[in-house]
Amino acid sequence: MLHINVNILNAGVFGGSWRFPNTDGTASYTIEHYTSIAKKAEEAKLDAVFLADGPLLDPSVRHRPGNNLEPTTVLARIAAQTERIGLIATLSSSYNDPVELARRLGDLDYVSGGRFGWNVVTTAGPVAARNFGRSGEPEHALRYRRAAEFTEQVVAGWAGRTELVSPQGRPVVVQAGGSSDGRRLASRVGEVIFSADQDLDHARAFRAEIRAGAAAFGRRPEEIVVLPGLSTVVGSTEAEAKARRELLDEILPDAYARGRLAAQLGISLDGLSDDEPIPAELLVDPDEAGGSQTFYRVVKAIIDAERPTLGQLLKKLSGGGGHRIVVGTPEQIADDIERWFRAGAADGFNVMPDVLPSGFADFADQVVPELRRRGLFRTEYDGTTLRDHLGLGLPAVPGRVPQPEVISS
């Protein structure tokens, strides 16, 4: 069966989603925005709700609303108003303390009845660094070395709890990162991998690599769940879906789209017109890029393959950052999901609706029933914990070396 999460990303993944007709652009600053979507997700029997986050004051708020509520605060309220849906929060390994984080997340897992998952991120970008009084962000490889040690400390803290023990044993570790350092971290500690991929063959190779890497760390590769991000634009007809996408492109704030792309590529786009391609000489190899190498790699692959003008590239990304966008009827979107799933390119998807809440309502009410008709998605929950939903057992604590048994004479 497919595994499906919904990413509650402020007003929607598209950069202009908050300007879409009949959408409350500031709803993401209210707790009801998140709880209502979570309840809808639980009715649809999704695996989990997913909250992205960064420990920073994002300057792009000038052009679109942000996720302004801290994820564990939001998920505690969602936990109180739901019964089964999983709860996944993004929290930084770069700007937190592992002992405090282990307690906070372990407590949330306990009070939610074993429904919590932690998305480990290393937090790229100079804005977050400045927010913590640093002159620049830590070097890429250093961030990932810290992340591996940090995660092992947190998981060991959960494993050592003798009171307030979670019904699922301990929270699920989610990891997002497509760089070489990120893939190694995913293989070492990740149980659910949130990936970004535009190409089916590349996604299939990525999934195989992560599973092989997990086996090399002594883990069971079949207990790795890979969920690419998937942005959906649903229409009752193909023409309606295309018109919705065209409107979203029209209302995308240009300053936001340019600023986001410039930050992803680590270059200035000042003086470059929409009719010009991005000069190839400005782009470095993805392994040499700072910031988020995952999205740098995705965007550079589009540039290399399609040679778009800046305007074409901004529309293709639509301010969404590089996750794949599928536009069509419920049947067409289900066709795409089924094709990737059956090809071994994904175990499911982290769905990122175009506009919230309307785009998710369309997905839950129209696409999910179509997936059920094809026998690809559950009709009821089989268990009560996030591990139950994902079909995951409890892996060994990462970093621990099994000690030989001592036999007394």
Confidence of residue 402 (pLDDT cuts 50, 70, 90): very low
Helices (H) and strands (E) in the chain, counts: 15, 9
Is pLDDT above 90 for 408? no
Instruction: Report whether 248 contacts 240 (CB < 8 A).
Output: no
Is pLDDT above 80 for 200? yes
Collapse the DSSP code of 134 into the 3-class scheme (helix H, G, I; strand E, B; otherwise coil) and give the result. Answer: coil
Q: Provide the pLDDT for residue 153.
A: 96
Between CA 378 and CA 399 the distance in angstroms is 35
Confidence of residue 271 (pLDDT cuts 50, 70, 90): confident
Q: Provide the pLDDT for residue 347.
A: 98
**Which own/partner pairs from 372-379 qualify as long-range (CB within 8 Å, at least 24 positions apart)?**
374/334, 374/338, 376/1, 376/2, 376/334, 376/337, 376/338, 376/341, 377/1, 377/2, 377/4, 377/45, 378/1, 378/45, 379/45
Q: How open is the CA angle 24-258-278, to the nearest 5 degrees?
A: 150
Report CA-CA distances (Å) from 318 to 14, 55, 151: 6, 24, 33
Confidence of residue 203 (pLDDT cuts 50, 70, 90): very high
- Structure tokens that stand for 221 in this block: 């590769």
Mean pLDDT score of the chain, rounded to an integer?
90
Place of tokens 């739901």: 82
Instruction: Report whether 175 contacts 294 (CB < 8 A).
Output: no
> What pTM was computed for the model?
0.90
Confidence of residue 143 (pLDDT cuts 50, 70, 90): confident
Q: Provide the pLDDT for residue 315.
A: 83
Instruction: Report whether 367 contacts 232 (CB < 8 A).
Output: yes
Q: Provide the pLDDT for residue 289.
A: 64
Between CA 105 and CA 154 the distance in angstroms is 9
Q: Of the ranges 119-128, 169-178, 341-350, which one carries the lowest mean pLDDT score? A: 119-128
Place of tokens 């090399």: 216
Confidence of residue 401 (pLDDT cuts 50, 70, 90): very low
Strands 348-353, 48-51: pairing kind: unpaired
Which residues of 183-244 form beta strands (DSSP E)? 192-195, 225-234
Cα–Cα nearest to 109, from 151, 166, 49, 175: 166
- Structure tokens that stand for 313 in this block: 């590239």
Please confirm whether the linkage preceding 357 is cis (ω < 30° from 0): yes
Give, for 116, the enclosing helix (H) or strand (E).
Answer: strand 116-121
Q: Of the ranges 166-170, 219-223, 301-305, which one carries the lowest mean pLDDT score? A: 301-305
| % of residues, the chain, pLDDT over 90 | 66
pLDDT digits (tens, 9 = 90+) for 19-34: 999 999 999 999 999 9
Q: Provide the pLDDT for residue 136.
A: 79
Q: Provide the pLDDT for residue 290.
A: 61
Q: How open is the CA angle 328-293-155, to the nearest 5 degrees?
A: 95
Between CA 168 and CA 115 the distance in angstroms is 8
pLDDT digits (tens, 9 = 90+) for 58-75: 777 888 887 678 999 999
Q: Provide the pLDDT for residue 67.
A: 67
Is pLDDT above 80 for 54? yes
Place of tokens 């990936």: 195
Strands 348-353, 3-7: pairing kind: parallel
Is pLDDT above 60 for 147? yes
Q: Of the ranges 93-102, 303-312, 341-350, which one carries the lowest mean pLDDT score? A: 303-312
| % of residues, the chain, pLDDT over 70 | 94
